[in-house]
């Protein structure tokens, strides 16, 4: 029997009640890397909406790794209790808490997207823009990075490992490593941005090395029973799906459980020529899954219940991640469960919510939801 959108899945020791994932979405609302009440509200309502997994926005592993002043960070042990509270909020909403770890690299020291053309934050000793090589993105809002020394690389690998330890202590059960979209790890993978001549540059094996070392160090501290995802830009400028397949096969031997399949970003823009239509990145998840045997997560303009159901049921991906659609309707999973005809769609929500929704349903016995769209009934 094929999997369905609302069938459970176990990844290592982590059980998700369904295949719907909240994609990491930046809120630009942190204060010195720390979460605020905005984050409590944001993640609480998304968890209550019925998703199986809620992935926290990209959370930086060093102060210097921030993209903007409002980025979250987990670079200090004193931050752990703050994130434990967010974990509790997500669990109370009925979802599994996950976190994405990131170093912004060449995309560091910027303003929020709606303020892109205002002066950038000032450079400082604790906010250097770093990269594998001093190759600028070529867009006004980005700074030219400083080429990382071997000491910088070792410090950053250690910072990812320490961030994973803190994430475990805070109670997160899934870790998603951001290695896409032009951020630091991605810039080591790409020959366009990695011009190094040492063991971290040149050959494919060398360009993979930074990511592999980070994964190995994370796996040394991240419990064996917890899941590890890696987000990749599966295609990009000077990067093909064949190279991604090669990389994913390597990552599978280092304890990676799911590939989060995206695209583009190395030039600061989406993949050139990509038409951002419904599910436009799903074929990458499907090909990675079929050619490597790895579990995959599909992202990118997944909007309708029937669309998401078909992705899972047809074996194109094991999970589907939604972003802006959930900002539009945080209760999309409940809506989708109803539209797909689940006997008890409200079971995806906490009992304090599902009880009243079932009672409401009985008040309208002849009501049938639309089978298309994803807004309100």
* pLDDT tens-digit readout, 43-84: 999 999 999 999 999 999 999 999 999 999 999 999 999 999
The CA-based dihedral angle spanning residues 42, 94, 225, 259, taken in that order and rounded to the nearest 10 degrees: -50
Instruction: Specify if 154 maps to a domain.
Output: yes
pTM of the model: 0.94
The answer to whether residue 369 is domain-embedded is no
pLDDT digits (tens, 9 = 90+) for 333-374: 999 999 999 999 999 999 999 999 999 888 876 655 544 444
pLDDT for 140: 63
Whether residue 262 has pLDDT greater than 70: yes
Is 3 among the domain residues? no
Split into its structural domains, the chain has a count of: 1
**How high is the pLDDT of residue 252?**
97
In this structure, is residue 318 part of a structural domain? yes
> For residue 319, what are the domain limits?
9-362
pLDDT band per the 50, 70, 90 thresholds, residue 88 = very high
Report yes or no on 144 lying in a domain: yes
What's the confidence (pLDDT) of residue 268? 78
Flag whether 166 is in a domain: yes
Identify which has the larger pLDDT, 377 or 85: 85
CA dist 158 and 154 (Å) reads 6
SS3 168: helix
Catalytic residue list contains 183? yes
Residue 360 Cα to chain centre, angstroms: 35
CATH number at residue 129: 3.20.20.70
Q: In the predicted model, is pLDDT for residue 302 greater than 80?
A: yes
What is the model's pLDDT at position 375? 40
Assigned domain for 2 exists: no
Whether residue 99 contacts residue 56, with contact meaning beta carbons closer than 8 Å, is answered with yes
Mean pLDDT for all residues in the chain: 93
Q: Which of 43, 83, 172, 183 is catalytic?
A: 183
In a domain, 51, yes or no: yes
Q: Which helix (H) or strand (E) holds 231?
A: strand 227-233
Query: Is pLDDT at 377 greater than 70 in this prediction?
Result: no
């Amino acid at each position: 029997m094929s999997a369905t959108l609302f069938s459970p899945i176990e990844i290592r020791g982590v059980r998700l009640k369904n295949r719907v994932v909240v994609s990491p979405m930046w809120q630009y609302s942190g204060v010195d890397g720390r979460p605020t009440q905005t984050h409590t509200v944001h993640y609480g309502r998304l968890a209550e909406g019925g998703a199986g997994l809620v992935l926290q926005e990209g959370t930086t592993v060093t102060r210097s790794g921030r993209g903007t002043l409002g980025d979250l960070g987990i670079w200090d042990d004193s931050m752990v209790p703050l994130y434990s509270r967010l974990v509790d909020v997500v669990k109370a909403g009925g979802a599994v808490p996950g976190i994405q770890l990131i170093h912004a690299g060449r995309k560091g020291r910027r303003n929020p997207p709606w303020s892109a053309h205002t002066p950038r934050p000032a450079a400082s000793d604790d906010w250097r823009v770093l990269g594998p090589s001093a190759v600028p993105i070529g867009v006004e809002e980005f700074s030219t990075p400083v080429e990382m020394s071997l000491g910088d690389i070792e410090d950053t690998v250690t910072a990812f490992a320490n961030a994973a330890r803190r994430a475990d202590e805070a109670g997160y059960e899934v870790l998603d490593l951001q290695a896409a979209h032009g951020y630091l790890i991605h810039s080591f993978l790409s020959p366009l941005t990695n011009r190094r001549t040492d063991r971290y540059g040149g050959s494919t094996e060398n360009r993979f090395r930074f990511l592999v070392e980070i994964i190995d160090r994370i796996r040394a501290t991240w419990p064996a029973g917890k899941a590890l995802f890696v987000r990749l830009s599966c295609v990009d400028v000077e990067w093909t799906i064949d190279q991604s397949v090669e990389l994913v096969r390597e990552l599978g031997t280092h304890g990676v459980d799911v590939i989060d399949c995206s695209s583009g970003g190395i030039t600061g823009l989406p993949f050139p020529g990509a038409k951002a239509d419904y599910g436009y990145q799903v074929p990458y998840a499907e090909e990675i899954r079929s050619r490597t045997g790895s579990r995959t997560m599909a992202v990118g303009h997944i909007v309708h219940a029937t669309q998401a159901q078909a992705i899972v049921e047809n074996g194109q991906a094991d999970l589907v991640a939604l972003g802006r659609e959930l900002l539009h309707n945080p209760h999309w999973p409940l809506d989708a469960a109803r539209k797909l005809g689940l006997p008890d769609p409200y079971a995806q929500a906490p009992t304090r919510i599902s009880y009243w929704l079932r009672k409401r349903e009985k008040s309208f016995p002849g009501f049938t939801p639309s089978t298309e769209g994803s807004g309100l009934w």
